[in-house]
Amino acid sequence: MYNQRQRLLCPHRLGRSKQGQLRVLCYQYGGESESGLQPAGSAANWRCIAIEKLSAVKLLEGHGAPRRITRPASCIADADIDAGNYPERDPQNGH
C-alpha cells in the first residue's frame, strides 16, 4: 500500500533524496495509481516512492521491471542499492 492505494511494484534503486529522505525507485506493473497506469513497459510507470509511506508490504514472485531505466532517477541522489549494478542477477526469478 502507498498513499492508501494497492500498488504492485518492482524495486530497482534504493537510496536517499537530496534532502536525505529514504526513497525507492520502482516500476509499477499493477494495482492502483492516482495518475493511472500506462501499457506495460511504458516509462510513465516508473515511480519514486517515499519509504515511510509504504505499508503492508509483501514479497511477490514472477514480476519485474524493464531492465533499463527509461526515466531519470534524479529522485535518488545517493543510491545504496541499484539493481543495474548486478546484471548477472535475476531477482524476479530467484537468482
pTM of the model: 0.78
Are residues 37 and 11 in contact, defined by beta-carbon separation less than 8 angstroms?
no
pLDDT digit string (tens) for 54-86? 999 998 876 666 656 666 668 898 888 887 776
pLDDT attached to residue 56: 93
Q: What is the per-residue DSSP string for 40-77?
A: TT-GGGEEEEEGGGB-S-----S----SS--S--TT-S
pLDDT digit string (tens) for 1-21? 998 899 999 888 899 999 999
Query: How much is the CA Rg of the chain, to the nearest whole Å?
Result: 13
Are residues 46 and 75 in contact, defined by beta-carbon separation less than 8 angstroms?
no
Three cell numbers written together for 39: 501499457
